[in-house]
Each structure stands twice: as structure tokens, then as C-alpha cells.
Amino acid sequence: MAAATAMRFGQLSSGSDMAPDWTTKEVSTGTTIMAVEYDGGVVIGADSRTTTGAYIANRVTDKLTPIHDRIFCCRSGSAADTQAIADVVTYQLGFHSIELDEAPLVQTAANLFKASCYRYREELMAGIIVAGWDKRRGGQVYTVPVGGMLVRQPVSVGGSGSTYIYGYMDSNYKPNMTKDQCLRLVSGALSLAMERDGSSGGVVRLAAISETGVDRQVILGNQLPKWSTIYLTIYPTVCLKDWRSTLLSKGLEIYPTVCLKDWRYTLLSV
């Protein structure tokens, strides 16, 4: 029985259009990752969902990878590629630190990631955010997108869920924010992305990196800020004409000359 089942599954996975995509797709972090500079350090955060096609391979992945004592990277893209690069850079940076007999610079770590991502840009699918603190430049955030470019930014977002929160971050990030403000900003942005991006989900992992060390947090799914939509339904045969109805409790307004008759009208409010 088991042999017959294995044979049928092998036939499906060997090229049939009916084969599930997780039999052929690589493991991907999917993901939403971000890092923000604040006055005294950086805050980094990520969701925890890892997918293989439509299959969720791991719902509690740790995408915040320590590279050195006060240097972390956030990984997006192919899980295998990003883990391999992180391992290589961790080794190189550790050796560099031993040679110098002092903690390495965040920029040095970012340059090592850039060198690997650029050299193997045709083979790798890896988007990296490098963030940390050092005694020379304080808190820093560097972005290494697919292809191997390197740029320093005060705030960086990446992954498939990032497209949903660029506007949110542009509106809410301000220079010289405090640590607590950045933690709330990052957790809120990740929650927003996780609600709208199918490749992001699970829990939110946060880390605040400063001169005093690394403070890590995990926010469970039932503790996240909710951005769920509120639906107001106006049922059939409702006619509103030449009058103004203000729905203060929902923050909605129905203006004059609106006529709704014999059909169902749904107002959507966030």
C-alpha cells in the first residue's frame, strides 16, 4: 500500500500539471522584513512565515539572524541562499574581529554581504537588510537588495509584504524617534503587511540593538495590532435623498442626493 502510494505521488511530482507546487518549489522566506534607525540604535523586525509554493513550511521561522554581538541581518528571498550567505559572512566577520581584537563595524558586515550577493548575483535570490550598532557610527541600517547593490538608509523595508507598507512608513517614520516609538512603528507595519500579504504571517519578531546590547521580543498573532476592515451594510429598499446622514460611530458620511433602492450597498471603512 505504501509503495503504491509513493509510486502515485512520484508520478504526480515528476512533471504532471496536477502535482502540488510544494514538490518542485524552493523554500522561500516570502516575507516582510524591516529596520529603522532611532536615536541611540536600531530596531529590526520580521514576520515568521516560510513557504514552499502555497505550502507553509514553517510558521515560526527566525528571520533575524545574528552576525556578531551587535550586528544582525534580516533575510528575504530563498531560505537556502540567505542562510548560506549569513553563515559565510558570520565566519568572515568573526575572523575579522579576531584579527582586529575589537568589535567589527556594521558597514564592514554590509560590505561582506554586498560582495557575496554581487559576485553570485546570477545564482542567488537574496535580499538582505544589515543593521546594528558600533562605536564609530552608532546605529546603522544598510540595504543589500537582489543583485548586490549597497545603500545606507534610515529606514528599510523588504520582502513580498513591503509593497503594502511603503506609504505607511513614509507617513509615520520621523527622524530621531525614540526606541519605544520605533518598536510600535515596526510592529504596526509588520501587522499591516501580514494581513494583506499571503506570504507573510505567523508571529512578529523584533530586536532593538544599541550600545547596551540586544533586546529581543516576540509578539504573538493574537497580540498584534489589528487592521481588520469594518463593514457597514445598508440593506435593500433603503432610499436616502436630499439629506445628510453622518455616521459618527463609524467615521463615515453619506452625502445628499444619494439614492439606494432595491439593492444591497456595502460601505467599507478601515
Query: Which residues have a catalytic role annotated?
Result: 31
Residue 192's identity, in one-letter code, is L
- CA 232 centroid distance within chain: 31
Contact 227, 164 (CB under 8 A): no
d(CA 36, CA 141): 7
d(CA 46, CA 146): 18
Biggest CA-to-CA distance, the chain:
79
